[in-house]
Amino acid sequence: MEDGGPIFLYDAPDKIPHGWPGCGECILSIARLNDTSDKYLKTFTRDEQGGNPVQILNQTKPVDFPSTIWKNGDHWNFIGQGSRFTTKDKSFRSWTRVDDAFPGGHENGGQWWIPVPNQVGGAPPPAGSPNYMVNCGGGTTYRIGNYFPENESFVWDGTSVANLEHGQAGWWGAQGGAANNNRMMLIGWVSDFHGDAGPGINFLTRLTILREANWDVKTQSLVSNPVPELLGLRSGSLASEKVTLPTAATPHVVAQTGGGAAASSDTVLTFSGFSTSAPLTTVYACVLGNGTVGSGVGIQVQVVPGPNGTHTANIAAGACPVPHTAAALEALSAAQPIQLFDEAEVTVRVLADRSVADWFVQGGRWAATSAWPGSTPRQPADSSIIVWSSAPRVTAQVDVYGMGCGWLNPAYTENPTL
């Protein structure tokens, strides 16, 4: 920042004088980088000078979870809970609420203001694509539109919304733009986990896989996938086979995935041979189980034929599904479908890590996290992967890789890699 180094705005407890009574974390304070030569930005200290907490004019309700600060001409802005705030004060101690109807909605989970990210592979979005997104729900739901700096407006078409999580994870954080090397990444907390995560690890929450969101030209929306660097954690092939899928009565157990071998794994499933007419075809996959239907966590993908050779898919993930039950059918009927267009194959990638599975369908058009569903921990040997189908003649190519650890030591390196 122009006044001498990076800063950030953060939520301050309401115990600070002039906090919003009964609100919790609803006022903002400033913290500044201790050492402006520290390129790792390790230590920040709260600005104790006047105006901290920050002073906001026209403040009619509490503000929390601010966006990044961006500069436009002679002033700076940030977004918080559906409003834009602006200042010309280079100390950032005084702001004015200038817009109480910014098209992001008022939501309690946060407000992220992010440029539309590049496509998978790094190419920028094509000319004419939207240029900005604003979070409107929990860090995973974004309204996509165009920001016009000349008049500080954000124009949303009223329909373009990307939902990057359909599972059990909540409390997501996301970041993008130049401060993040022009990549948009997000991570969430799996709040529905019960039991120990492993020996000596007795917390009740787990982080999801670190994801990267990209602009997808075909769907004119976002896709969400594991960051590509995670491919470097694959420790070797556990299994690779092509199988004609049986029914649920005799699910196919993928060889070499039991006995704990696939407790931490990266699996790619490619399904083909779907019926182009009724009855609908549903394929199933479960991980972290004992090799039987109903054990572990799983996914079901129902392919729905459409006109002119186009298809959609209804998807649900959670406890390993037992097909044809009322609950399973209800989950699929309530799912938001994704477009398959005229594609003949459906790909499902799942990264399993002992008590959590992250699912990605059709290149990230649909993504979800499943937490361990039981009240007791998973048994160490329960790591089998099983697949089956509701209809005959469906095939699956199954490729399973073991996964190593992604923690780096030391944490700060000149050129961090996985």
| First-residue to last-residue Cα distance in the chain | 30
Is 388 contained in some domain?
yes
The per-residue pLDDT for 413 is 64
Is 86 contained in some domain?
yes
What tokens appear for 29 in the block? 């304070």
Is 184 contained in some domain?
no
- Last residue in a domain, options 49, 84, 99: 99
For every residue of 183-220, DSSP letters joined together read: -EEEEEEETT--S-SBTTB--S-EE---EEEEEETTTT
What is the distance between the alpha carbons of residues 178 and 180, in angstroms, rounded to a whole number? Answer: 5
- The pLDDT mean for the chain works out to 85
Residue among 378, 375, 380 at smallest CA distance from 194:
375
The per-residue pLDDT for 252 is 97
- Last residue in a domain, options 65, 99, 133: 99
Is 194 contained in some domain?
no
- Last residue in a domain, options 68, 99, 130: 99
Residues 254 and 395 in one domain: yes
What tokens appear for 35 in the block? 């050492």
Instruction: Calculate the CA 359 to chain-centre distance.
Output: 10
Is 144 contained in some domain?
no
Instruction: Calculate the CA 239 to chain-centre distance.
Output: 27
What is the distance between the alpha carbons of residues 365 and 64, in angstroms, rounded to a whole number? Answer: 30
Residue among 119, 126, 339 at smallest CA distance from 214:
119
Instruction: Calculate the CA 183 to chain-centre distance.
Output: 14
Element (H, E) at 95: strand 94-99
The per-residue pLDDT for 268 is 98
Is 82 contained in some domain?
yes
What 3-state DSSP class applies to 108? coil
Q: Which residues are CB-contacts of 355 (< 8 A; sequence separation ≥ 6)? A: 193, 195, 197, 198, 206, 288, 371, 372, 377, 378
Give the residues of the chain that fall short of pLDDT 70.
1-4, 12-26, 50-52, 60, 62, 100-111, 191-205, 278, 408-418
Is 257 contained in some domain?
yes
What residue type is assigned to position 20 of the chain?
W
Is 205 contained in some domain?
no
Domain that holds residue 292: 228-403
The per-residue pLDDT for 254 is 98
CATH number at residue 328: 2.60.120.560
As for how many domains the chain has, the answer is: 2
Residues 90 and 233 in one domain: no
What is the distance between the alpha carbons of residues 383 and 385, in angstroms, rounded to a whole number? Answer: 7
Q: Which residues are CB-contacts of 390 (< 8 A; sequence separation ≥ 6)? A: 247, 248, 279, 280, 281, 282, 283, 284, 323, 324
Residue among 213, 206, 215 at smallest CA distance from 227:
213
- Number of Cβ within 10 Å of residue 232's Cβ equals 10
